[in-house]
Structure 1
Amino acid sequence: MSLHGGIPRAIAADVRHGERLEYWTLGWMASVVLVMWLVMGASQAMKAAVIEDLLSLVPAFVFLLSVHWERRGPNTRFPFGYRRANSLAFLVAATALLSVGGFLAYESVSTLIRQEHPTVGGITLFGQTIWLGWLMIAALAYSVVPPIILGRMKQPVAERIKDKVLHTDALMQKADWQTGLAGIAGIIGIGIGWWWADATAALFISLSIIKDAIGALQQAVAELLDGTPRALDSNALSDDAKQLKATLKARFGDVEIRLRETGRYIAAEADCAPPAAIPTAAELMGDDLAWRLASLSFRPEPVKANP
């Protein structure tokens, strides 16, 4: 397998594209956080949105860090390289997503139980007093635009490079713009006298975030425990892993085939003697996904587990 640094040449351009998207994310979302903080006021939805936007920076940061480590080649201390850096980053990103959902749910439920009545006052700008809610709505509307664009741009890149961190970040971007829309609904609710609208809007979006986060955490833990390769958007076996397993069985017979995921790569092991001619990754997975097969090993005498 031809490598570009520690990244296969077949996906090097897409990985660099992913990095650019994450740098854009850090810049745009930092501006969103600043704008939201300036007009936050006493709104529960606004406070939750600011915290959520801050936490949304975590997946972007850990993606950039994991790619930096992944480019490093094997050494005496890490003879298999740093492929699992992506797996660790995935766990951190999934945890950040769950933290966002949990925080939003806690704050919203607490507000509803205490029956807090948020108020949005006025502010004087250029000699004119205006309702602060209009500025909040404008800031929330601005906070919706970058996540929608960036999230849609990240999805196809994550699919091509099989990167669950980038995919989780796209989910975080989805949470960002949904939180923005929910916040707008909450501010409008406050304006017409519905004190519960603000917290209810935040609670509604938190449940969706928690659902996505739990699924991501299940995948992250399975990956770190050498589980079979999972799909990007579910805990089911990935299609390319299914195809690889079927191809190996067709070539070597009805033998035990084990697949595990290390970051974006797959390691395969077959319980049979090595063949005279070892098949290439392209033969087993096709030219487009040959980079994904990191290793193929054989175990002619499987070790039996103790009863």
Structure 2
Amino acid sequence: MSAKPTKKVRYFGHHDLPQEQQDALRRAVRLERITVVYKLIATAVIVLLAGSSQAMKAAWIEDALSLLPPLAFLVAIRFISRAPTPRHPYGYHRAIGVGHLVAATSLLTLGGYLFVDSAMGLVQGDRPPIGMIEIFGVQLWVGWLMSGASILVAIPSVFLGRMKSKLAPLLHNKVLHTDADMNKADWMTGFATGVGILGVGAGLWWFDAAAAIFISVDIIRDGINNLRSCLAGLIDARATTTDSKQPHPLIADTRDAILKLDWVKEADVRLRDQGQVFHTEVFVVPHEGQLPSLEEVEDTREKLSDMDWKLHDLVLILVAELPEEFLPQIDQQEG
């Protein structure tokens, strides 16, 4: 007796990533684990050499805080794989948003602390005492070690940040994108710190604090942008691309796909970002006298869901007319 063919079942709140995204996620997890180990080592090295340097203090605090985004990513990834429950019928995808909030807050906190601390040092005229050390009978200025260590420990961040920035759009993971920004802040901190220490050695006492202020301004900018983006997502703003600069193209693509159907008179799409996936609501006004059957509605929903793996919880709603807040012209006015 032959087995009955099984019907493809779609269910809300949980999803399986396509193979390409599964591979990308494994690489991202591996990169974040490497980042945690690397940051622990880098922080220890910088703390040992920091002395009274403002820029060096900025560097080790920055290294310590930069542990938060990769840890937030690793924790969030474990949550989103959980199946939905009666208490959490949408699943746990919002864990990515929480992780994004932690990462963005870390950036902003770091930048703000560095700016205030370094500016106070500059105003007060603090002159970092950088002495000599004897190594194998040779007297060596400690600033050489501090500058060299700052630059060397920053180099891995250049490569880690670039690899994460490539994976983030593939996974639509804004925590990973923010962590790539944090890696950018890492290497900027390292190189600016090295230059600041050398400036002190050249007699420019203010160079140390100035380098730290330069670092902090860029970090604050990234922190504000990322915090604005994650808060917008948590209050269900329109879904955007991973860098939060443009409306996500799936909004228009889904609208165009549904409008191609013969029985559809008008349609619009409401898309909200749940983390790596979107909760999607498609509002459709049928032509008069062409009300689709239940099978047609379900088939349409299946086809729209198959357009992209991120169109996760997709519902199709038949309405007599489109609510004004969903109309394209209103959407464009809001920017």
TM-score normalised over the length of structure 1: 0.90
1:294 aligns with 2:312: yes
SS at 2:280 equivalent: strand
> What is the deviation of 1:2?
9.7
The answer (yes or no) to whether the contact 1:133–1:191 under 8 Å persists in 2 is yes
Partner of 1:8: 17
Note closer, same or farther for the CA distance 1:119–1:298 as it changes in structure 2 (3 Å cut).
same
Q: SS of the residue aligned with 2:56?
A: helix
The size of the alignment, in residue pairs, is: 302
Letter of the aligned partner of 2:219 in structure 1?
I
Deviations 1:41-93 (A, max 9, x none): 11100000000011111000000000001111112222221111111111111
Aligned CA distance change for structure 1 residues 218 and 127 (closer, same or farther; 3 Å): same
- With over 3 angstroms needed to count, the CA separation of the structure-2 counterparts of 1:2 and 1:259, relative to structure 1, is closer
Q: Which residue of 2 aligns with 1:186?
A: 196
Worse overlay, 276-285 or 293-302: 276-285
Alpha-carbon displacement from aligned partner over 1:170-201 (angstroms, at most 9, x marks no partner):
00000000011110110011001111111111
CA contact (8 A) 1:44 1:198 kept: yes
Q: Distance in 2 between matches of 1:285 and 1:75?
A: 22
Instruction: Flag structure 1 segments of 5+ consecutive residues without an equivalent.
Output: none
Counterparts of 1:222 and 1:259 in 2: how far apart (Å)?
13
Q: Quote the residue 1:131 is aligned against.
A: 141
Structure 1 residues 281 and 203 mapped into 2: Cα distance closer, same or farther (>3 Å)? farther
Tell me the residue number matched to 2:3.
Answer: none
Is 1:167 the counterpart of 2:180 in the alignment?
no
Name the counterpart of 2:152. 142
* Residue of 56, 64, 72 corresponding to 1:54: 64
- Determine if contact 1:243/1:285 at 8 Å carries over to the other structure: no
Inter-partner Cα distance in structure 1 for 2:151 and 2:314 = 50
Contact 2:15 2:312 in 1 (8 A): no
Aligned-pair identity in percent equals 37
Per-residue displacement from partner, 1:231-272 (whole Å, max 9, x unpaired)?
222343123333333334444443342111110111221233
Please provide the CA RMSD for this pair: 2.4
Deviations 1:106-156 (A, max 9, x none): 112111111111121112223332111011012112222110111111111
Alignment partner, residue 223 of structure 2: 213
Matched, 1:117 2:127: yes
Distance 1:90 1:299, change over 3 A: same
Matches within 5 A, 1:60-79: 60-79=70-89
User: How far apart are the structure 1 equivalents of 2:132 and 2:79?
Assistant: 50
Structure 1 residue 304 displacement after superposition: 7.5
Q: Is the 8 A contact 2:192 2:215 kept in 1?
A: yes
In the alignment, does 2:266 pair up with 1:266? no
Larger Rg: 2
Given residue 50 of structure 2, which amino acid in structure 1 is its aligned partner?
M
1:248–1:257 Cα contact (<8 Å) kept: no
**Structure 1 range deviating more: 230-239 or 173-182:** 230-239
- The worse-fitting range, judged by mean Cα deviation, of 167-176 and 136-145 is 136-145
SS in structure 1 of the partner of residue 196 of structure 2: helix
TM-score by length of 2: 0.83
Q: In structure 1, what is the Cα distance between the partners aligned to 2:227 and 2:147? A: 33
CA distance in 1, matches of 2:55, 2:239: 38
- Do residues 156 (structure 1) and 174 (structure 2) align? no
Runs (4+) of structure 1 exceeding 4 A deviation are 279-283, 301-305
Which residue identity does 2:281 align to in structure 1? E
